[in-house]
Structure 1
């Protein structure tokens, strides 16, 4: 028989000749060696699938002429880890020769040092020579037995951030010291720590950062690092007028304009108004009106403007003549009556064929002084009415928008509203402006946007009236600096959502806001959006789900939604429920919330459609009915590229805004 080393890297064996049927002679002692391996016997096949023989096997069992191949078993060895002066411990790694082994991540620490890798000797480690990096794969560190790797430590990085004074002006919001990087920043005003620097003043700033795996601890104090300068506050008396021969007008001590007050700040003491000199009412002229004595918080530098009392000759009134009345019958069955007075002022009354009447009054220069519309019982019963007015020219300043008083019959209530369409002017061929909204004006002059107002295909604005209301039509869309023309939601969606307060933007440290359209929407955010659409009503009780913090921004919204059946909560083990307000709201959860909200509003939720999307099978059982309703009403249309519904994916802020835009338009379909 002959012998084959079968991969041995040293040694040799001569052929062995024996007498047939010799029952005593054993196979020759193995003379081969293979580094990292242990000899375990012989086999008639190199790959070990033939007949195996032990090292002491009797020769008589081996067929004449056979070649025996040495069989090898890879050795096991142990990798140990030395902290080389560090702290902590690490478990050994068992490895097999000729097989890759992965070094575990280092868990040793050493004060003031950062871990750089492993060295095969302590001398190399002390010279900061790295043989193996953390978590790398290694091969054949030893033939057998134990091998030790030594931690290599290097000095930690020393932070050197750029520190420069931050100077800003008080505006009622929290200010921050500007620094790049992740640092802990503390503020001190007159040696007292201030958590949220808002008030005007000179703040010392302490910048610090704890030691971590790569960097040494950092601490610096910047005297006057944050300076919040006082805001300029200007008080200007209103102008007044009088005629020659009148008594000196008494000054209204509230007739002044304040510029520069921030947020909810108010004057601590009102100013006193007076004439700079006694007005001479015997001839035309003017006298300055001055203000003094006002007091504001230390956040303001108060200054004063001046008003003017103008004394003029009384105008001569021309002889009066009779009013002129013109009546025009229009092709649509409506009637327009125009009454023109001798001074040129007009009263224009327009009555539709269904009885709804508008009365517009203009002064002698043609300026509209008042507009009033009375909705007929017939239109109220139909549930829809278009105001018979000239197309409104929207303005961006609500204070400058003209008022329209809308009167409705007593049959119009919250349970039986009337859908009101206000004509809006737009250029021929132009697209509707989705930033157009309706503001309601109460008896005290407070103006509140009606968030659930829509814009129809003709660009007119539509809202629900539940009683008499004074309205203004305003273009209230807000510019968002992070939106570009390349964003799919640029224009219509952003204008619609920001104008109605559905999305108010994410606040940045500098006080600006961005829409963050691709950012995810949490369950708390979405329920808060629905709460905003209802103008944030309070819940009748204080009960809510257990995981809703009382100071969470969505706490009131969650309590309201739970009470109204819009929110039911996520089932948890043990039969409890949670809101999980910080979790991403999925598309299918949006569908469920909206279907319940539609029911709360009294909308028809009976329509259904097949969920015919490539991933329809991914819709969860609890959401299938709501998703069928949402698809039937066009609230979800699928991904533009893949056509998928993605029901369990988190909904982006812009996607939610687009769905709510479709939902509000659905209310008036």
Structure 2
């Protein structure tokens, strides 16, 4: 303690540094010290004694930075203390300075800077008070992610703290989208942040939402690239860039004519990238079109070779054929011919050792061109031999020519001066007894499928010989062009109607005078069906007698070739008035004309038919007809269903006919629909099942009565008298023919029960007599005679 100027009192603890503790108006006179106490005596009698002094200490109370304020003043009790502020910028991590407190935990007296308080009797420590700062979080949200994990930021952030935005550390993904950073709003309307961006923390938690950019998608389209059938595959998947695409196969069975599917390519012309089914590629940033690729199929040709043909032209097939394509073999459309041979189809080898094919046959094309060679069957040839037939001198002519079937033979004259004692040479005949076809020198005939022998015919000179053979008529031909002809018996004739038809009548075709008329019919719809195709007008030929010609008559028709197409052909048909249908005759085509031979007249027409008829002509298969006198009638009867041939290919025209056989023929001709009567013959069991129905029908209609002993005798050979009686009954004319004489030379041999029938069938020209006007009632009828008589019956019935 010391006394200072102006009556002030100072204290010091170290005698160096002094602190003024009093400054009054009185005068201080000195200081005394005793017993550890200083006493100051003032001039007014004041006595001052020193007192205890206290200090203020500031404590950072956990501060982590800055310095604590320092108050070096000693404070006497009751002295006024002015609290210092945070002059040393104390800080404490995570906290804010909040003043001072006499207790560290804040339970004492709080003071703010510049606050005052009276010093107590003890030192005072003021503790800095800290208010913990509020912290906020940053949360990451996948915002619809479909994979990966969101980043985690576990740091607490005070307001204004700097936040560093995390990247997509958890590899978040969202199908069809690409990660595009973060945003404070899910819909992207807030603040966007990229990885490592920073922002100052506000006074609230922050959620950062993943942002997604929808990936662009691309399509794969398949293009048929000229396909002619099937459908292109469809890939409806959207592909993102870098997605893997699996290429489809030809699932829609695309086809292109003449080509084979060969995969896909990104360019229509194949210059791009090629893919096969099941291949994969990575999608780029553009749509992809895959074009079908086509490999042109190799094609092969079919060539026709005449193989030695001497005429006509080979068919031409200009079609290209792929392997396994079906080839339809052409017919002989160019009328190929080879002298001495008949066309017999095609073969893949010229010598016939390959595969044979007929017209319209089919085969699968291989992997090479095909040549089909015409095949030729050497035509069988037949000879014409001349026989002197009892000549007594001279030599027979010799014809060394081989003749094919249908070849024209010119009959030789008596070039070797044949003679026969008591006779005059009278031409030739196919039968020694003159019952065949007669020919004079220079006459022609068509060669059949058998050798021909021509027998010299002799006319007995006057006064000797047996006679009986007429002198051949002269060979002058009567010709008419107006469709009408009158022809003396035995003469040759020719009649035509414009250029529609020409009829040639050979000599001795009939022993009657012939009156013939040709008519071209109109309004013929009722005669035709929808399937009938005419290539000529319908021609009706009429004559003045009902019996057939004894020799074939030639009919030549002009037809319209434009009616033909493809593998069609023309054929002559006649109209069956009984069955009301057209029956095929056949014919030989030359240019736009066709010729056929017939023995009867009716309605005729040329019609278009297919390449092959549904049934072969029966007579073609009969090997034993040759030049038989009834050949044409037999053909007509077979076509009409009256009779059939034998399984060995013969007809057996001269075989006798049983009663059962004739009953079947007769009822086939009449086409009756009756059920038939019950058979009561004692030998019914002997009637074959094949004939029982027809015999029963004949009994029911009164055609058959049987014998007086109750038998039918089915196996018995029918006589000419029995045949005449059955025909007369069938026509209902039996009772009308009441003649007691028949005018046949052997009338006395004809049974009385048959005379009326024989008289009728003769008068109706159904049955003719034999030589010398003999009826021969007991002779057995042959198959040829039976069909001829039945055809005459039908002709009479249709009148």
TM-score normalized by structure 2? Answer: 0.28
Q: Which has the higher contact order (CA 8 A, sep 6+)?
A: 1
Q: Which has the larger radius of gyration?
A: 2
